[in-house]
Structure 1
C-alpha cells in the first residue's frame, strides 16, 4: 500500500501510521509525495495524541518507489493526483481528496483530518478483509 500526498508531510504520514495500526497484518504500508517536505510536527503530535507512534515517519519522494509494485495506491489530494505520474505497474489506484490540515480552518485541524482518515481507513480495511477472507484483529 502506498499513500501519496503532494508534500508527504501530513495526510499521507497520518494515513501510513493509521493503516499500520489497523492492518499491518494485511499490508506493507508506505507513503510518499511528488514534492516531499519535512514531516509537519503538528501531524506527528496528532498521531501521538491519537495513541500511535510517530517515530520513523519521514517524507519520501514517489520516485523512490518507481520500481516497486503496490496492490493499492491511495492519492490523498487533488494536487498530487495532477502532479504525480503513477507507474503503470500499480494495482488499484484510489483517490481520496482530504483537505490539507495546514490550511484547514477551525480548532485542531490536524486532529480532525486524522480522525477523518481513520474512519476511511477502517472502512477500507473492513472491505478488504471481507474481500480476501482476512479476519480483522
Structure 2
C-alpha cells in the first residue's frame, strides 16, 4: 500500500517549503511520501541548503517546482507555509486535509550574515518542531 502524501506549499519553493520537504523526509519519510512546491519555482535557496547542512539534512538535490494539481488532489495533507500560497493555492478537494503555518520568509531577512543565518535557523527549527508534531498524525 502506498504511503499518504504530505505536500508543503510556498510562494517560490526555494526556502521554507524546501526546508520542510527535507525535514519531512528525514522525520516522516517512513510514514509519509513528502513533497513540496510553490506558486512559482524560484530555485533552491543556497542559504537554505547551508542552514539545513548544519542539522545534517542535505537538500541539494531537491528541485524547485510549481504546484502539481494531480499531486495536490492525491495528497492526504497540504500545508501552506505563507499567506501567498494560502491565498493563491489551487482549490484542494474536500477530502484533502489542509493546514496553514504562516512562516516568515527567511529570504527577506536583513542584517549581518550572522543575523540572516539566525533567521534561517529560527524558521528551520520552527518547521522541525511543527513536523515533529505530525508524527502521530494520520
TM tier, smaller: 0.7 to 0.9
Q: Which residue of 1 aligns with 2:81?
A: 76
Check if 1:38 corresponds to 2:43: yes
Change (3 A) 1:54 1:81: same
Q: Where does structure 1 differ by over 2 angstroms across 4 or more consecutive aligned residues?
A: none
**Stretch deviating more after TM superposition (88-97 or 39-48):** 88-97
Scaled by the length of structure 1, the TM-score of the pair is 0.85
- Aligned-CA RMSD value: 1.5
Q: Gaps spanning 5+ residues in structure 2: where?
A: 1-5
Q: Is the 8 A contact 2:13 2:37 kept in 1?
A: yes
Q: Is the 8 A contact 1:73 1:90 kept in 2?
A: no
Check if 1:115 corresponds to 2:120: no
User: Relative to total residues, which structure has the larger strand share, 1 or 2?
Assistant: 2
Number of residues paired by the alignment? 126
CA deviation string 1:41-98 (max 9, x = no partner): 0001111111111132111000xx2123000000000011112213326510101100
**Stretch deviating more after TM superposition (82-91 or 46-55):** 82-91
